[in-house]
Amino acid sequence: MEAISNNTELYDNLGLSRTSEPEVEESKSDQFMRLMLAQLENQDPLEPQDDGEFLSQLAQMEAAAGISELQDSFDNFSAAMQSNSALQASSLVGRSVLAPGGYAQLETGQSVQGEINLSSSTTNLSIEITDAAGQLVRNIPLGTQASGSVPFSWDGTDEAGNYMPPGAYKVRATAAIGTETVEQEVLVAAKVDSVTIAQNGQSVKLNLAGLGSISLSEVKEIR
């Protein structure tokens, strides 16, 4: 009987399969070290490499490895932050947030809620509601107010008490401060319909009902 000459024939005759070892990708630092050792082995013995040059190459290798590890850590941190923002934003779907811009989406039978960031105390704060064509719908006087956050509500009716059709409306606030009439920042409550997960490090976007998208970072309050 002819002897089996090698392990390959032995596995084949026994009907066994062999799993090859997975190839391990060589890191940049390993490549650098391998090339440097090859350089040392093949250097001219009459003109050996200077110690200072050798140490300089080692320092370059350490710096390259450090930068690579720092980049990996930053990428992992960035991915974790993005995942956290996405999770936080997705929990807002169906809820209301206070959004800047002064635009409100009026729904049938609903009112519009919001806040005014009053920069200074005033004896005459008022808000104006205009439609998509820029026509004045309603003026709501809020009188004397202290500086800070001032809540407001619009019931969806015009000056004659008629309910306005659903759609987008503009809310503008002005305050008498000293001898001037100064426009104030208006925040309007809006419903979050969906969330757009950002790419390439951009902010997560909240898609508001009838009002478009804003960045999660622009949200002033969650209701």
Classify residue 180: in a domain, yes or no. yes
Phi first, then psi: what are they for 128, rounded to 5°?
-120, 135
CATH number where 168 lies = 2.60.40.4070
Quick one: pLDDT at residue 145?
96
Classify residue 62: in a domain, yes or no. no
Classify residue 222: in a domain, yes or no. no
Q: Is 208 left (phi over 0), alpha (psi -120 to 50) or beta?
A: beta
Quick one: pLDDT at residue 195?
84
Quick one: pLDDT at residue 45?
55
Range of the domain at 138: 96-189
Quick one: pLDDT at residue 4?
45
Classify residue 11: in a domain, yes or no. no
Classify residue 42: in a domain, yes or no. no
Low-confidence ranges of the chain (pLDDT < 50): 1-4, 10-11, 14-17, 77
Q: Is 144 left (phi over 0), alpha (psi -120 to 50) or beta?
A: beta
Classify residue 82: in a domain, yes or no. no
- The number of distinct structural domains making up the chain is 1
| Rg value, the chain, Cα | 34
Classify residue 40: in a domain, yes or no. no
Q: Which two tokens stand for residue 9?
A: 């024939």
Using CB atoms within 10 Å of the CB of residue 122, give its burial: 0 to 12 exposed, 13 to 18 middle, 19+ buried: buried
Classify residue 90: in a domain, yes or no. no
